[in-house]
């Protein structure tokens, strides 16, 4: 059973404003001379990452060249753009550094909006609660950066329970070994095992589906106390619901949505009440609303007057067009359409979509071969 995320995201706009404002002054210094109020760009761009800009860690579709066109020769940003990805697993600051290296331009943390970025809006609710973070990369570090004070990765959490994964001995990696080398491991185990998990956050793609589904079922059906009696299901949040995405393998790979289906199917067979959860990520229109807000803040930071920058509000700038460049019709294109104006969708052929014409199910406003072509089109249309 899917829950409404409206209540969670109501605070999104005001919180984002507060969180972005310290960044604005530094951004304003790095932006170009284009930046007087009358010359504020009336458009912005949101780039999907997997299947548009990168395949794995390899730039594709002329993405390096395309992104360079959004900067001055001096390296200062001249066109407001962000990355709007359903992927994640690393803190936005770390991802920005990695992307900067891979793509050869200076990308700021506030330009990276990941599937799990909306989780930060839940920190008031779970700030001091015991929570478990699932997925590749550094899911617990991501949640800690958002303000959650009592978080463990599922790798570490599972390592405190003897025999929770009966297949562990057959696996070539051994998380328990790493955690049990920690001197406080033995002292910590009783506390961890008797502390009720209040929520589980699927931050990024699960690395070990069998172990994660097992441990999540344990947490969810016992009210957060694996091995105990049935209890009320703790909260469960997914960073996205992508069934498939494009990585380096020629055909699409199973994503977090596939993991969710597997978990839900199993949970619903072993528990009397259906699984309750909330999914974030594209195509949810609220993700696009948030992206618009982040882009507005970027545009406002173009203003050279620090007085205006520091008191900027999202209402003080309107976009004529926001371009979403994506490879997945049912995620990127559907999301942009649902969000409505000023979003304009551009579908590339470098990822999930490989068709000759447009997508029949979720047709884009424009179909191009590559991201480089998409940027060329945008700059021409905007007379830049």
Residues engaged in binding ligand G3P (CB under 6 A): 48-51, 85-87, 205, 240, 242, 245, 255
Nearer to ligand G3P, 139 or 255 (CB): 255
CB 323 within 8 Å of CB 344: yes
Nearer to ligand G3P, 240 or 297 (CB): 240
What distance separates the 2 farthest-apart alpha carbons in the chain?
65
CB of 322 to Mg ion, least distance (A): 17
CB of 352 to Mg ion, least distance (A): 6
Q: Which residues are at the interface with Mg ion (CB under 5 A)?
A: 48, 50-51, 327-328
Residue 342, preceding bond cis, omega within 30 degrees? yes
Cα-based distances in Å from 164 to 122, 155, 169, 178, 219: 29, 11, 11, 16, 11
Q: Residue 205: which of Mg ion, ligand G3P, none does it interact with, CB under 5 to 8 A by kind? A: ligand G3P
Q: Is the dihedral angle over the CA atoms 111, 248, 280, 203 positive or is it negative?
A: negative
How many other CB atoms are there within 10 angstroms of residue 324's CB atom?
26
Q: Residue 87: which of Mg ion, ligand G3P, none does it interact with, CB under 5 to 8 A by kind? A: ligand G3P
CB of 180 to ligand G3P, least distance (A): 30
Q: Residue 255: which of Mg ion, ligand G3P, none does it interact with, CB under 5 to 8 A by kind? A: ligand G3P
CB 351 within 8 Å of CB 325: no
CB within 8 A of 75, min separation 6: which ones?
105, 106
DSSP 130: -
Nearest to 70 by CA among 380, 381, 375: 375
Residue nearest to Mg ion (CB): 51
CB of 223 to ligand G3P, least distance (A): 30
Nearer to ligand G3P, 245 or 267 (CB): 245
Nearer to ligand G3P, 87 or 139 (CB): 87
Nearer to Mg ion, 48 or 156 (CB): 48
- What are 98's two structure tokens? 């990695």
Nearer to ligand G3P, 92 or 205 (CB): 205
């Amino acid at each position: 059973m899917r829950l409404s995320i409206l209540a969670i995201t109501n605070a999104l706009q005001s919180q984002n404003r507060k969180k972005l404002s310290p960044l604005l002054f530094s951004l304003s210094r790095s932006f170009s001379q284009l930046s007087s109020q009358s010359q504020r760009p009336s458009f912005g761009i949101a780039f999907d990452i997997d299947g548009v800009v990168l395949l794995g860690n390899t730039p594709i579709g002329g993405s390096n060249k395309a992104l360079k066109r959004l900067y001055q020769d001096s390296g200062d940003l001249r066109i407001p753009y962000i990355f709007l990805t359903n992927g994640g697993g690393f803190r936005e600051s770390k991802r920005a550094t990695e992307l900067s290296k891979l793509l050869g331009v200076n990308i700021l943390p506030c330009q990276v909006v990941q599937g799990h970025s909306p989780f930060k809006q839940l920190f008031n609710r779970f700030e001091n609660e015991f929570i478990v973070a699932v997925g590749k990369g550094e899911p617990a570090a991501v949640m800690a950066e958002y303000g959650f004070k009592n978080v463990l990765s599922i790798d570490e959490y599972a390592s405190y329970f003897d025999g929770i994964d009966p297949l562990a001995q057959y696996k070539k990696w051994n998380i328990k070994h790493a955690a049990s080398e920690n001197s406080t491991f033995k002292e910590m185990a009783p506390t961890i095992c008797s502390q009720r998990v209040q929520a589980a956050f699927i931050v990024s793609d699960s690395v070990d589906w069998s172990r994660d589904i097992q441990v999540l079922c344990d947490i969810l059906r016992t009210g957060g106390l694996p091995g105990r009696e049935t209890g009320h299901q703790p909260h469960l949040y997914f960073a996205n619901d992508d069934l498939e995405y494009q990585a380096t393998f020629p055909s699409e790979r199973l994503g977090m949505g596939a993991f969710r289906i597997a978990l839900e199917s199993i949970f619903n067979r072993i528990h009397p009440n259906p699984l309750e959860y909330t999914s974030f990520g594209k195509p949810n229109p609220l993700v696009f609303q948030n992206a618009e807000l982040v882009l507005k803040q970027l545009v406002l930071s173009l203003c050279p007057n620090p007085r205006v920058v520091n008191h900027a509000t999202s209402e003080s700038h309107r976009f004529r067009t926001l371009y979403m460049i994506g490879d997945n019709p049912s995620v990127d294109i559907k999301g942009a359409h649902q969000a409505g104006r000023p979003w304009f969708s551009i579908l590339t052929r470098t990822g999930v979509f490989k068709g000759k014409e447009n997508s029949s199910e979720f047709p884009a406003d424009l179909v191009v071969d590559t991201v480089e072509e998409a940027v060329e089109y945008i700059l021409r249309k905007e007379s830049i």
